């Protein structure tokens, strides 16, 4: 099978690469190991309405959220906005919409296709991938290969360009029907009881449907997120008790890299994008908007390189320069806040919520999104009357300078 561009993985990153490249007239194949796109959901699907609008994701793919509640063992805060800025995605619908957009532009999507090896030329550069589909062995040759296989990073690992992520988040979640829910409000729950290194959540999906989950940083804590989730639901911890009867509909489990932006993401004829590139905001471990945004940039850069007949590392490097310029310093700053948060005791979390209470909705959102510098987050470090608030924001400020 000969293509200009082969994308391994039909998640948000892979579909977005394929969409942009196919739009530019490039012959694209997307190879997905599962029986259908988004057959297994591995994410909670929170993202931001501004990004959703930019990507053109349809309105029936998400539930808007405008109240952001936090609770620690002995404290609680709700930041209420006048209009929704966050959203909980219908993950399956959104990921399938992204794939359908790529198909409409002419990309071919092959499901049930498991890639487990690479094809190299005599210089050792990648020129294709191979694996199995329902008929047996398959080989796909291409000028550029994109590793969009997520956490697994199958292609880059087989090329020996990367090793397994050392620091990562493990998350378990139930999508559940509940007796009572507020579709406008999400809950983040922090402290030892909820997660020894991370947080628990309740995200509203639609009327009486929520996602209740637990994320735990590895190797920081040995606690199993699935066990902790079951326990929190059993004891109806914190705001979980307000949901009334909980009837699980579907279980989700996933891993997300948290090693910072440690990987090189372009090699001769190869691009890494999305989770395989480690493009995730470490504060709340969200990566969907980066996967889509940088997927589209990767698709454009790869297409330009293919058209010019040079797909070496240098020719593909504008992709890496673009995404680094956009998020590198923000992710580094977010990493510092994460280091602070991961070590907080329950008592310190109770106090941290007092700091969060001081924030206006737009400041809180920019902070949690790691969009430091957009509002007056940096000014808070110097001018806020409370020392504790200044100290928190100084972390962000010092890593920017």
Smallest separation (angstroms) from ligand FAD to the CB of 380: 25
Inter-residue contact 269 to 317 (CB < 8 Å):
no
Strand segments, DSSP code E, in 195-273 are 198-206, 209-218, 246-257, 266-267, 270-272
Cross-strand partners of 146: 7, 271
Q: Kindly tell me which of 151 and 393 has the beta carbon lying closer to ligand FAD.
A: 151
Q: Kindly tell me which of 205 and 380 has the beta carbon lying closer to ligand FAD.
A: 205
Whole-angstrom Cα distance, residue 280 to residue 7?
Answer: 20
Inter-residue contact 347 to 353 (CB < 8 Å):
no
Backbone torsions φ then ψ of 230, nearest 5 degrees: -60, -40
DSSP three-state, residue 276: helix
Tell me the two tokens of residue 75. 């404290």
Smallest separation (angstroms) from ligand FAD to the CB of 267: 17
Q: Kindly tell me which of 43 and 269 has the beta carbon lying closer to ligand FAD.
A: 43
Smallest separation (angstroms) from ligand FAD to the CB of 316: 18
Smallest separation (angstroms) from ligand FAD to the CB of 196: 16
Q: Kindly list the residues in this chain that would bind ligand FAD in the complex (CB under 6 A).
A: 8-14, 31-34, 42-47, 114-115, 148-150, 152, 154, 171, 215, 254-256, 274-275, 280, 285-289, 291
Inter-residue contact 165 to 259 (CB < 8 Å):
yes
Give the CB-side neighbour count of residue 106, counting CA atoms within 13 A.
Answer: 12
Smallest separation (angstroms) from ligand FAD to the CB of 320: 16
Q: Kindly tell me which of 173 and 363 has the beta carbon lying closer to ligand FAD.
A: 173
Q: Kindly tell me which of 72 and 153 has the beta carbon lying closer to ligand FAD.
A: 153
Tell me the two tokens of residue 265. 């993401």
Q: Kindly tell me which of 14 and 128 has the beta carbon lying closer to ligand FAD.
A: 14
Smallest separation (angstroms) from ligand FAD to the CB of 291: 4
> Residue 325 belongs to what H/E stretch?
helix 313-342
């Amino acid at each position: 099978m000969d293509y200009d561009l082969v994308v391994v993985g039909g998640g948000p990153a892979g579909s977005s690469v394929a969409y942009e490249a196919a739009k530019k007239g490039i012959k694209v194949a997307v190879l997905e190991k599962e029986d259908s796109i988004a057959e297994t959901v591995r994410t909670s699907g929170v993202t931001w309405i501004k990004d959703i609008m930019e990507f053109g994701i349809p309105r029936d793919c998400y539930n808007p959220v405008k109240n952001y509640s936090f609770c620690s063992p002995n404290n609680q805060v709700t930041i209420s906005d006048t209009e929704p800025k966050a959203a909980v995605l219908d993950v399956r619908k959104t990921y399938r919409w992204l794939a359908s957009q790529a198909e409409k532009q002419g990309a071919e999507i092959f499901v049930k296709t498991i890639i487990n090896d690479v094809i190299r030329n005599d210089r050792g550069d990648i020129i294709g991938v191979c694996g199995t589909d329902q008929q047996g062995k398959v080989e796909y040759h291409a000028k550029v290969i994109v590793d969009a296989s997520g956490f697994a990073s199958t292609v880059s690992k087989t090329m020996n360009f990367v090793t397994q992520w050392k620091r990562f988040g493990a998350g378990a979640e139930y999508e559940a029907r509940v007796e009572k829910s507020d579709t406008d409000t999400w809950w983040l729950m922090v402290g030892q009881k909820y997660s020894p290194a991370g947080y628990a959540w309740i995200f509203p999906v639609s009327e009486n449907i929520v996602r209740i989950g637990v994320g735990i940083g590895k190797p920081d804590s040995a606690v199993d997120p699935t066990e902790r989730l079951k326990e929190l639901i059993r004891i109806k911890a914190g705001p979980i008790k307000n949901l009334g009867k909980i009837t699980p509909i579907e279980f989700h489990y996933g891993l997300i890299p948290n090693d910072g932006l440690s990987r090189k993401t372009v090699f001769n004829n190869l691009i890494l994008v999305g989770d395989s590139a480690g493009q995730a905001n470490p504060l709340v471990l969200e990566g969907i908007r980066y996967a889509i945004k940088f997927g589209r940039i990767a698709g454009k850069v790869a297409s330009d390189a293919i058209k010019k007949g040079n797909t070496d590392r240098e020719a593909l490097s504008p992709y890496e320069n673009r995404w680094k310029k956009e998020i590198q310093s923000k992710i580094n700053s977010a990493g510092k806040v994460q280091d602070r948060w991961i070590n907080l005791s329950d008592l310190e979390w109770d106090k941290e919520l007092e700091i969060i209470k001081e924030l206006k909705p737009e400041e809180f959102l920019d902070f949690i999104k790691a969009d430091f510098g957009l509002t007056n987050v940096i000014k808070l470090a110097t001018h806020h009357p409370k020392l504790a608030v200044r100290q928190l924001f100084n972390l962000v400020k010092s890593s920017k300078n």
